[in-house]
Amino acid sequence: MAKGIKYYSLREVRRAGKRDGRSWRWKFMPPSWPLWETKEPYPPINQEEPSEYEAKLISISHENLEKIGSEWAKEDEKLMQDYCNAKAEKERLEEKINNEMAEHKDAILDYEKTRKKFLEFSPRWIPLFLYWMIFIAIGCGEGYFNYFVFQMFGEEERKTYIMAGEIILLIPLSAELLGHSIKKEMKTNIDKMGITISFTIVILLLICLAVLREAFFEASQVKINMRPTTLALILIVFNLAIFFIMTFLSYLEARKNPEDYRKAKKAYHKALTYFKEKDAYVKSVAKDLAAAEERFNNAHSKRESTFEKYKHLAEAERDRWVSYIRTYRHGNMTARKEKNLPESFRVDPETLIKIPDALINLDWGCPDEKEEIKQ
């Protein structure tokens, strides 16, 4: 309840109504008999304006309603500020998420486009790490086999390591280069030269090793029931078989259009990374927006409920003073000998007491919005 509001008792108002409606009044000064004198009932039958007492009730009711309105305006200063701040933040994030969603949509379309293009390339026949494990295992196995053969002929440890190392290094690398170059659809002169050089290097390496093995075999004390030339040919065929197997594996792993594949893969991973970043950012903004909406709803609800409290208080205040006026009129009419209703009593008292507009309709317009409308 607003501070400084004054009220009357219904008994006091009723007595005032009877006093105005009687056709007599007390006369104590100067003392004389009788102690009353006659008067006309008030207000007169033809008076359209409210009586003085009724006008006083109306004036006090308006004063009380203004006090309630002032208290609401004072409390609404902070409520309105909180509401407008929450609304501005919500609208800012709504605009932001709309912009981000448009960019997010573009990121999705770009991702789908690059993904589709990337998936046009056939998948690897085995995972890349497994391919390299097989490739390295075969290369190391071949190197170890040749190391064992050279060691069997009683060669020095250093020479054995050098020869085995050449096989482990050159044969896998040549097979890898040869397989990729053969698989390539649009071969350049460099690719054709690479094929020739790779194959030539391997053949020359195997021939050189075969000659060395034959020489080592003849010079060694090892007795094998086989001619040196036959052993050299067997080892050449064995190493060539390993080389062709590794070349075939490289061919299976290679792409017909390696440059297009690299570009498609790079574009796909770039689009995927951007999509994930944008998706995470959109989710973050959406989370902020949800929190802002909650703050806005709380501020809106608090302001609305506080307004409703003051509005109901104002309506109750108006009803109280309407009741006073009706009590006054009832007392006035009961005191009249003639029950003719004065013109002023024909006016509904609810139309005489006006609740301030600020307590009837809640204005949700923020100051910034009002300035924009004016401009």
Does one domain contain both 70 and 130?
A: no
Please compute, for residue 190, the number of CA atoms within 13 A of its CA located in the half-sphere on the CB side.
2
Query: Which pLDDT score, from 0 to 100, does residue 297 have?
Result: 94
Q: How far is CA 106 from CA 263, 271, 275, 286, in A?
A: 20, 10, 9, 18
Answer yes or no: is 99 within a domain.
yes
Does one domain contain both 18 and 87?
A: yes
Answer yes or no: is 134 within a domain.
yes
State how far the Cα of 23 lies from the Cα of 36, in Å rounded to an integer. 10
Task: Show which of 217, 239, 254 is a domain's final residue.
Answer: 254
Number of domains in the chain: 2
Answer yes or no: is 179 within a domain.
yes
CA dihedral 27, 28, 32, 35 (to 10 degrees): 50
Window from 227-236, 266-275, 308-317, 318-327 with minimum mean pLDDT: 227-236
Answer yes or no: is 264 within a domain.
no
Answer yes or no: is 327 within a domain.
yes
- Contact between 143 and 164 under an 8 Å Cβ cutoff? The reply is yes
The amino acid present at 254, given as its one-letter code, is A
* Mean predicted confidence (pLDDT) in 151-177: 65
Query: Pick the residue with more confidence: 219 or 277?
Result: 277
193's tokens:
């030269």
Does one domain contain both 136 and 203?
A: yes
Does one domain contain both 90 and 55?
A: yes
pLDDT for residue 302 is more than 50: yes
Does one domain contain both 36 and 86?
A: yes
Query: Which pLDDT score, from 0 to 100, does residue 374 have?
Result: 45
Does one domain contain both 167 and 244?
A: yes
State how far the Cα of 18 lies from the Cα of 100, in Å rounded to an integer. 75
Residues 215-245 have pLDDT tens digits of 655 555 555 555 666 666 777 777 778 778 7
State how far the Cα of 51 lies from the Cα of 135, in Å rounded to an integer. 113
Task: Show which of 220, 254, 288 is a domain's final residue.
Answer: 254
**What's the whole-number average pLDDT of the chain?**
79
Does one domain contain both 101 and 127?
A: no
pLDDT for residue 267 is more than 80: yes
Query: Which pLDDT score, from 0 to 100, does residue 33 have?
Result: 64
State how far the Cα of 351 lies from the Cα of 45, in Å rounded to an integer. 20
Does one domain contain both 190 and 309?
A: no
Answer yes or no: is 260 within a domain.
no
State how far the Cα of 4 lies from the Cα of 120, in Å rounded to an integer. 83
Answer yes or no: is 39 within a domain.
yes
State how far the Cα of 45 lies from the Cα of 84, in Å rounded to an integer. 54
Closest CA to 172 of 252, 103, 248: 248
Please compute, for residue 28, the number of CA atoms within 13 A of its CA located in the half-sphere on the CB side.
0
Confidence of residue 36 (pLDDT cuts 50, 70, 90): low
Query: Which residue range is the domain that position 133 belongs to?
Result: 122-254
Answer yes or no: is 113 within a domain.
no
Confidence of residue 346 (pLDDT cuts 50, 70, 90): very high
Task: Show which of 187, 222, 254 is a domain's final residue.
Answer: 254
Does one domain contain both 132 and 242?
A: yes
Closest CA to 333 of 48, 37, 23: 23
Confidence of residue 295 (pLDDT cuts 50, 70, 90): very high
Query: Pick the residue with more confidence: 70 or 178?
Result: 70
Query: Which pLDDT score, from 0 to 100, does residue 212 have?
Result: 64
Does one domain contain both 242 and 292?
A: no
Does one domain contain both 323 and 204?
A: no
Does one domain contain both 209 and 306?
A: no
The region that residue 154 occupies, defined by phi over 0 for left and psi between -120 and 50 for alpha, beta otherwise, is left
329's CB contacts (< 8 A; 6+ apart) are 17, 54, 345, 349
